[in-house]
Amino acid sequence: MGRSLRDPKPEATVLLLGRRFGRMNETALGPTTTPANDGGALGIAVVTIAADRTLATDEAGEAIVSALEASGHDVATREHVSPEHDGVQSIVVRVIERDDVDIVITAGSASVEPDDVAIEAVEPLLDKELTAFGELYTALAYEEVGTRAVAVRTLAGVADGKPIFCLPGTAAGARLGAEELILPEARHLVTLAYGPEEDGTDDASDSS
């Protein structure tokens, strides 16, 4: 019997992704290490978007927090907001503006139900979108849940110099995004999004 498309061989999946996205060498992507790779813990804000659970009962948020702490990063803040467009935008803007936050991750309200507003609320805030994130997440989700992955929406980008990610509200979906995609690239993305540091020189010092 042939293998079902819902149960792909791992090596076949890797080959498919390699063909889809191509092998990008160091020249194309830049060095695989950046100054931030040698830095300390990142501060990450975790925002739960849900009407049917609190922070105490939020399994998706807990999955993200566990993954962050296992990687040596700090949870700068945990927030909860109902799935209401303006409320979601407001709280995301507030955590982005915090000095102790390097990355923002939201969990929930990211499917296709009428009250799922995370993507619509966060997308207008982005200065740049990380389009490959959604494609990679969908490929990984397909390995886990098959064609049900078509109902899963994610978003990633940079807002005000900080990476922001919108993940599903299930523990498995949130863990997948955090462990497989966000954390491996977190320091590199923070360095890129922040931009080069100023050298601190003062042009006025040249005048006499």
Cα–Cα distance between 47 and 100 in angstroms, integer?
15
Quick one: pLDDT at residue 40? 87
Cα–Cα distance between 142 and 133 in angstroms, integer?
14
Residue 25 lies in a domain: no
Residue 200 lies in a domain: no
How open is the CA angle 63-154-16, to the nearest 5 degrees? 100
- What's the pTM value of the predicted model, to 2 decimals? 0.79
Cα–Cα distance between 19 and 11 in angstroms, integer?
12
Quick one: pLDDT at residue 58? 95
Residue 31 lies in a domain: no
Residue 77: Cβ within 10 Å count:
16
Residue 15 lies in a domain: no
Give the domain CATH number at 44: 3.40.980.10
Range of the domain at 93: 40-195
Domain count along the chain? 1
At 166, which amino acid appears? C
At 97, which amino acid appears? E
Quick one: pLDDT at residue 15? 38
Quick one: pLDDT at residue 108? 97
Residue 76 lies in a domain: yes
- Give the Å distances, CA to CA, from 37 to 107, 173, 183, 184: 25, 26, 12, 10
Residue 92 lies in a domain: yes
Residue 60 lies in a domain: yes
**Average pLDDT per consecutive 10 residues, the chain (208 residues; last block may be shorter):** 40 39 41 50 98 94 98 98 98 98 98 96 98 98 96 97 98 98 97 76 46
Residue 169 lies in a domain: yes
Contact between 111 and 152 under an 8 Å Cβ cutoff? The reply is: yes
